[in-house]
Structure 1
């Protein structure tokens, strides 16, 4: 029976492609700007390279016997989430709204109506198909981020089921609520330029839920396999993040330049902050620490990148790295086995970024999307909205992920056996080794 499930899945997808061929071409009078389209094509490629970058980043941190498994968990998201996205996932995230919480899955089913010059209302100068492919890359990397929390102890088959459930029931509702103009959070005025809530907070809280649900690894001796992999991964992530944040302007304009600049400075400040913070506590400055700090800065600036100034982005980098460093230290003193500290880095980093967006955002940076200025400028409305959204999203992502983990475990056990964990997931799950 289990052997028939993958075959049945492929047959269903093939049947859908035959029954619902997406050959209808839209011919609207929209103005497609060549420069904007060229930039967004580039940005889409930049965001995609982040997932292989994440694979190297995580793969270098785990034990040698789990490198392939950990990296493959990121790579497989590029395949599985893409198929879901094309069939009905894009509709869930950006289709006609259903109570401001989720999209109608039939709106763009099998990418219908997305050829030709059709555009998305918030990206009117690029084809909607390009917008869909750009947003797909965000959907790909989000479940991949979670893998660092349960690395070295999850069954691959169960992992595939979990990421599908996570996308449908956690990611898609958050994306729709935050980024669709009729979404619940968007109408409240919540600011999330490129994914602090949708990507990093959702993945961070899911990571914490996973670490708690799956308990500790049986083997606690942890020796990173390749620090050089971590450095390569950091470079790819930093490089790709320019598409992640600057691309969220959806045009080749000044706002994209601002987002690129704030992303650069926040990441640099966070890397420096992490190193100096370690040195102040008597530790040696490490390449691993600098890499983690840089990524935390990128995480924290993500929601704020199109709303804050350069000096304020430096503050966001410094503050986020310091707080995440403290949370990592706290986590090591508990029984929580978040293998690669996904929650302290991505979850906490995303939350710090959301709060500081409410502190430093200003209409002079992005007048089109802000109804008020941040707390730093004497206004409280935006700050309170950001804090309320933070609490609501945290509760939803954490408890929703716990429920999905339980459902997955009931359908397909999550943990590998003691013997499989001891031999390593590369061999036990994939029959491969370095």
Structure 2
């Protein structure tokens, strides 16, 4: 960035500039276009796509519940914006969640489903969090299944996953609800916090917000504060940090710490602070600390982008540059700039978008590269193609609206912002 950009006046925020706003909306439109038709599996659910926008597999592929639910959420946003055809995508996804992912015998939702039933029948907290998000978002556009699914998933989370003694959820159960012992995770609880806020916004029911606050207090006000504003990923059943945890699935449970989640929590904390009447002073304070640490420790000062993981000595461990930490950084910087204006937050916002524009956008095939090497070349060691619209779409749209809640809330309240 130029010296001029680095000392930019607060009166000239990019998010206020008409050209930048048009550019962001253009990127959002490109993402909607890339996924809207190509990702739909005519047998139900959605395909994971290759780089060129074709299904990675058409032979009865397993559909992850988080992918199905995220598509529902994103195209509910599209429908709220007035995008033709978006409501049909929501309906396609909602029916697959209800008819294929839902376990009619034992209750809850399978982690993976395919044309014939459960491909992976386990019951994962991460997946159930996204079902709550999908149902909440679908409710904002009046989908006929939304209320039934919202009531169902709320009961499942309350009776099966929620651990009142800790104020957070357990991680995993078998299909018949036998607990998988020994582990508690922040990632599932973080996404549940996002979904609980969306459910509160859609229903006005306070118990959702109370649970979100409880999770944030445990994971951030206590555990992250103890770690100098670094978010621990892995815990034992008593919520003691497990620094030596390793899992083969590095997509969902990477070892060490993940700066992208510090950024994600920074935005979620600001949103929670606003929704809860700005009662908890620790929330904006901690959001600021998390964002600062992510830029100080997670940003590659030589080549740009965020390292995927750090070890506990703050040394980059997995040096791939993934798209989603950039997306979360852009959203967090916008929320912080709206409520805690600073040149640091604006400079960071511009750095992140400059890197995205120069590296993450696939100008040949459309969509975004989900993984880059340390020096910014497209790679596929963790993510085989382009399976996700959720992070990038929200990054493009969040700066177009007042930083006062979920996109499904602010689009309804400020329909003339775009």
Decide: shared fold, TM above 0.5.
no
Q: Which has the higher contact order (CA 8 A, sep 6+)?
A: 1
Q: Which structure has the greater CA radius of gyration? A: 1
Which structure dedicates a bigger proportion of its chain to helix? 1
The normalised TM-score by structure 1 is 0.28
The normalised TM-score by structure 2 is 0.29
